[in-house]
Structure 1
Amino acid sequence: MSPADEKLWATLINVGGVFFSFFPALIGYLVLKDRGPFVRAHSATALNFQLTLIIAYIVGSILSVIVIGIFILIAAYVLNIVFCIVAAVKANQGQWYTYPMAIAFVR
């Protein structure tokens, strides 16, 4: 895969996390992981971040019985938007990026 194609797919995978949760990262990781190191790294880090957010959403939903859960859900939603956009910009520029606060499930 050419470097331009890798940048395009990495950008789309990161932006897709805003709209479709972990599905673009999972599909991108499974389909494109052997196509190049850049797209593999971005899809793996996006998948790790989205899986971490799922945990945050579950914890926030459980704790929404108490008021703190609502704040956890809002924070997770905002962090998803901000970090996915930052990662997409970095991917489009051809830079490597690792999401902060992401648990490393996939390498």
Structure 2
Amino acid sequence: MEVINQSTLRVDRQLLVITHLTQLLSYIIGFGGLITPLIIWLSSRDRVEGMDEHGKAILNFQLSLILYFIFSIPAILLLGLGILGIIGVIILGFILPIVNAVRASNGESPSYFMTIRFIS
């Protein structure tokens, strides 16, 4: 007799929404915007439907924001263009997690633009 392992993924949109919104911890307590979604993604990517896709998008977005912020610091010396870059990173880092939390609650795929795909 052959045993077939049928792993069923559960649909948990609330966890996907929470995962997107945990990126805002960086604005509230100063850190956790990368670590908390990473922990949630690693612990539930095999059990929740869509978590792998959303988790990878979140991590790629957070790593891209960190990279853009690091590149903006020396660009401050170039006529202050780095200040605009830092302001843009702050605004995008606040708005896009909220937009994608709404998309996750509606069952849609995440859409983070200007994201470098570190994890595919």
Q: Could you tell me how far apart the structure 2 residues matched to 1:88 and 1:99 are?
A: 11
Stretches of structure 2 lacking an aligned partner (at least 5 in a row): 1-8, 27-32
Q: Could you tell me how far apart the structure 1 residues matched to 2:25 and 2:77 are?
A: 26
Which residue of 77, 81, 88 maps to 1:68?
Answer: 81
Check whether the contact 2:10–2:47 (CA below 8 A) recurs between aligned residues: no
Q: Could you tell me how far apart the structure 2 residues matched to 1:71 and 1:35 are?
A: 41
Kindly indicate which of the two structures has a greater share of residues assigned to helix: 1
Q: Could you tell me how far apart the structure 1 residues matched to 2:42 and 2:76 are?
A: 34
Which residue of 66, 91, 95 maps to 1:54?
Answer: 66
Q: CA RMSD in A?
A: 1.5
Give the aligned residue type for 1:81.
F
Check whether the contact 2:60–2:118 (CA below 8 A) recurs between aligned residues: yes
Q: Which has the larger radius of gyration?
A: 2
Residues 27-78 of structure 1, C-alpha deviation per residue, up to 9 Å, x if partnerless? 1222122113411111110111010000011111222233111110000110
Check whether the contact 2:38–2:55 (CA below 8 A) recurs between aligned residues: yes
Query: What are the equivalent positions in structure 2 for 1:38-53 lying under 5 Å apart?
Result: 38-53=50-65
TM-score, length-scaled by structure 2:
0.79
Q: Corresponding residue for 2:114?
A: 101
Stretches of structure 1 lacking an aligned partner (at least 5 in a row): none
Task: Kindly indicate whether residue 104 of structure 2 is the aligned counterpart of residue 91 of structure 1.
Answer: yes
Query: Deviation at 1:18?
Result: 2.0
Alignment identity in percent? Answer: 27
Check whether the contact 1:7–1:92 (CA below 8 A) recurs between aligned residues: yes
The farther-off stretch of 73-82 and 35-44 is: 35-44
